Amino acid sequence: MIVIFIFILIAVGLLSTKILHRYISIKKIPWYVYISVWIGWFMCFSIVILVPIDILCTDYRQCKHISDSQSEKLNEIITNISNGTNSGSNNNNNNNNEIINKYDSCEEPWAYISNDKLEYIYQTFYFGTLLLTWLVYPLMGSFVLAGDFHLSGRITRSIKENAYLYLIFGVIGLVVMIWLLAVKQLDWNSMVGFAMAAANTWGLCLVIILMGYGLVETPRSIWVSSQRSLVLKHLQFKAVELLNSKKKANEELIATMKVIRRIQEKTKKYDPYEKYIKIIVDQCPPEQYALVQRGEGDGEATYSVLVALNSRLKNAITNSQRAEFLYDQCLVEAFELQDIQNSAISLDKNVNWSFREQRQGRFAKKLDIMEWIWYNYLEISVFRVAAIVFAVLSLLIIWSEFALAFTSFDISVLSNIVKHSNVSNIFVQFILFFPLGYEALTCYSTLFKIRIFNYYRLIPHQHSDSNSIIFSAAYLCRLGAPLCYNFIQFINMNSGIEDNRTSFSVVMGTMNVAPFLGTYFYIYFPLLIVIVCLSTLFNVYSRIMNCLNISKFRFDVDFSHEQIDEGKFLIDSERRKWTQNNIKPLSSKSPPPSLDSTSNNPKQIFKSGSTTISKQSPPNLNVSGGNINNNNTNNGNTSSARSFIDSFLKKSSNNNNNNNNNNNPYEQTLLFDESNDFDDDDDIESGGAGRPTYNAHLSSSFNGGANSTSISGYPQINKMFGGANRYSQLPKK
């Protein structure tokens, strides 16, 4: 049995690695972040997996205990029956037979683990997650955000930033400890239980809120996925929002680089801060930074100013890359959904993907037909059936939470199934694994969708930053134990009878030293899940935002908004641009360059037509007044600039010219208004005259900027830099 248990832990480790790989890359974030987050995820997922096994083992031990304690009585009954001396009624005989059959069929579970081993594992995982979530992750989060240039400085800053929080917790903990010792006269173990109760109370509050949202949103989102026209509306609505977010991220990046440029201009050679300024400049996107010709600010360089500026630059680059990816991801999803809708009338039974590479090989045609059948005949039905199953399961869990309040009798469906079924029945094992797994799915998936002021946000395809993944791991560790404790509560496996208590209940049992927290709170607080579910079901949050004139999309067939029409116009414009430039998303998606990497000038890869272009930073070009000035200090003439442009355009010979007669405002070629040329000293964030005027469809990269009508001999330069290169990081397929 221990081999099976080890196999389960290995499977959990692989699952943790797979999910973690969806959001981050070990090559792009610090190794210590990856390892610590993986450990936290592994322990949290392991607790969820072990609890159903624990319940099976507990039921088996209870069965064996009752069987052994009544062995003499059962033997006497069997003897009387065999000798024919039993004068009882047929009903008594039937009852005796049921007792015999029940306790003679105690079969050891397929993954049986002894009580002592399970308790040791639970203690290790539980206190390990507590250590990570309350100590390691807060310090590590501050460490990765610190802008200091020395390791000791980053460590010191992370400790200082968390010292105030720990000081407050320490004072509160000391007061509570004195109160427990003086008034309640509790021993050390009881105080540990009180601390566990306090931590798990906060965790249970998070579980009820997150799970309440997920129990409604999970089946609803699956059902909505079967309504393709509604999904397309949502993508159109979201495209405009993502575009605005991208513009704001670009503006912040420009403003930050202008401050850096000003400091660089005023810093003399051999200045003691020159090496720090060089580190900051090397982190700037080279092409964008080359276009910022005049800085802003007082330009005074001090160590504290440079530290804050370094931290600000990291955050600005992360937000810019993230906004770029989310916008391109939205476009790709919209394009593919349109392709699927158009394939319904396809005579060759094939989904003609506009921006995917066609399959090759002997089975390509068969796979294309199977894909067409899936999208046109199976997908919608499968989604709807899955949504109904999950909705029923959500109702079952909500009812079980509601049944906790009725302590005098058991009305929980899951509890009665476990009580009146044989432990060896595979159906019971499935009943235990599936509901808890679904609870974890709804709770964790909601956590992964959370965005806090766009600061903490998990982005798929390895676009999540270190701070966001640390934040998610910290809260994931806070949810595991309370989630499982709540599950054991509503299947009634947490009673005071020692033989009926799971190993998990034994470890968490000291929580009952605080009567309000241990007895009443964990019974009646879960009833609030009904309110959370109803609020989610009726879109209370979206309706409140709409009343405040803050546009939120509602998944309603009758929902209409001018932003949907604008998004439709935008997506159609981008589709034409992709088609004109023959843009193909890369088959393999590379995550954005790491700010912790030693390489400060990563290559940007994209495809234009059939040509794959690997582009390093171009010469420092200043486009102003229709002239191209090469600002490369190593070469004073413009030959290198023109040579670069000539070679670049030659590689992209398949690129068509822009249609000058198109009146679509989203297809203008200017990235920003060159008349401003960043000469005005107004702060870009204040919306002054110096703020670049963006067209709505363009990306966060500043590879363009040249007016195609103002550069003699190069009418395509802006389309290439503002068009194809912006798709350097397209969603993974």
Q: What is the per-residue pLDDT across 7-22, written as a single tens digit (0 to 9) for each?
A: 888 999 999 999 999 9
Question: CA triplet 140, 141, 142: central angle to 5 degrees?
Answer: 90
Sign of the alpha-carbon torsion through 588, 592, 598, 602: positive
User: Which carries the bigger pLDDT value, residue 651 or residue 387?
Assistant: 387
Work out the pLDDT band at 681, boundaries 50, 70, 90: very low
Q: What's the rounded mean pLDDT across residues 71-87?
A: 62
Work out the pLDDT band at 186, boundaries 50, 70, 90: low
Residue 440: CB atoms within 10 Å: 24
612, β-bridge pairs: 607
What is the predicted pLDDT for the residue at 340?
92
Average pLDDT, the chain: 73
Displacement of CA 285 from its chain's centroid (Å): 26
Enumerate the domain spans of the chain: 2-83+90-227+388-537
Position 29, amino acid: I
User: Which carries the bigger pLDDT value, residue 243 or residue 354?
Assistant: 243
User: Which carries the bigger pLDDT value, residue 512 or residue 650?
Assistant: 512
Percent of the chain scoring above 70 in pLDDT: 67
Check: CB of residue 352 under 8 Å from CB of residue 343: yes
For residue 717, pLDDT beyond 70:
no
CA dist., res. 321 & res. 728, Å (int): 11
- Residue 456: strand, helix, or coil: strand
Percent of the chain scoring above 90 in pLDDT: 21
Check: CB of residue 626 under 8 Å from CB of residue 710: yes
Position 244, amino acid: N
Task: Name the token pair of 723.
Answer: 């068009």
Q: What's the rounded mean pLDDT across residues 609-632?
A: 37
Check: CB of residue 461 under 8 Å from CB of residue 731: yes
Q: What's the rounded mean pLDDT across residues 434-456?
A: 84
CA dist., res. 608 & res. 581, Å (int): 6
Task: Name the token pair of 601.
Answer: 């000038």
Q: What's the rounded mean pLDDT across residues 676-690?
A: 35
621, β-bridge pairs: 630
For residue 187, pLDDT beyond 90:
no
Work out the pLDDT band at 506, boundaries 50, 70, 90: confident
- Residue 533: strand, helix, or coil: helix
For residue 321, pLDDT beyond 70:
yes
Work out the pLDDT band at 673, boundaries 50, 70, 90: very low
CA dist., res. 636 & res. 716, Å (int): 25
Work out the pLDDT band at 730, boundaries 50, 70, 90: very low
Provide the residue count of the chain: 733
CA dist., res. 678 & res. 341, Å (int): 45
Task: Name the token pair of 707.
Answer: 């007016």
Specify the range with the lowest mean pLDDT, choosing from 65-69, 516-520, 709-713: 709-713
Work out the pLDDT band at 541, boundaries 50, 70, 90: confident
CA dist., res. 376 & res. 341, Å (int): 8
Work out the pLDDT band at 381, boundaries 50, 70, 90: very high
For residue 470, pLDDT beyond 50:
yes
User: Which carries the bigger pLDDT value, residue 29 or residue 87?
Assistant: 29
Position 127, amino acid: F
**pTM beyond 0.75:** no
Work out the pLDDT band at 663, boundaries 50, 70, 90: very low
What is the predicted pLDDT for the residue at 686?
34
| % helix, strand, coil for the chain, step of 5 | 65, 5, 30
Work out the pLDDT band at 731, boundaries 50, 70, 90: very low
Dihedral over alpha carbons 405, 406, 410, 413 (to 10 degrees): -50
DSSP H or E segment with residue 688: none
Q: Which residue has the tokens 């890869």?
A: 605
**Residues 35-48: tens digit of each pLDDT:** 999 999 999 999 99
For residue 694, pLDDT beyond 50:
no
Check: CB of residue 357 under 8 Å from CB of residue 732: no
In sequence order, the 6+-apart residues with CB closer than 8 A to the CB of 304 are: none
What is the predicted pLDDT for the residue at 220?
93
Work out the pLDDT band at 548, boundaries 50, 70, 90: low
Q: Radius of gyration over alpha carbons of the chain, in Å?
A: 32
What is the predicted pLDDT for the residue at 388?
96
Q: What's the rounded mean pLDDT across residues 229-257?
A: 91
Q: What's the rounded mean pLDDT across residues 92-114?
A: 61
For residue 425, pLDDT beyond 80:
no
Instruction: State the pairing for strand pair 456-457/604-608.
Output: unpaired
Specify the range with the lowest mean pLDDT, choosing from 316-320, 361-365, 541-545: 541-545
CA dist., res. 403 & res. 411, Å (int): 6
Work out the pLDDT band at 125, boundaries 50, 70, 90: very high
Sign of the alpha-carbon torsion through 690, 691, 697, 702: positive
For residue 67, pLDDT beyond 60:
yes
**Residues 294-304: tens digit of each pLDDT:** 878 777 888 88
In sequence order, the 6+-apart residues with CB closer than 8 A to the CB of 12 are: 42, 45, 46, 49
Task: Name the token pair of 405.
Answer: 């309040």
Q: What's the rounded mean pLDDT across residues 480-504?
A: 75
Task: Name the token pair of 224.
Answer: 């909505």
Q: Nearest Cα to 730, choosing from 241, 245, 321?
A: 321
Residue 275: CB atoms within 10 Å: 9
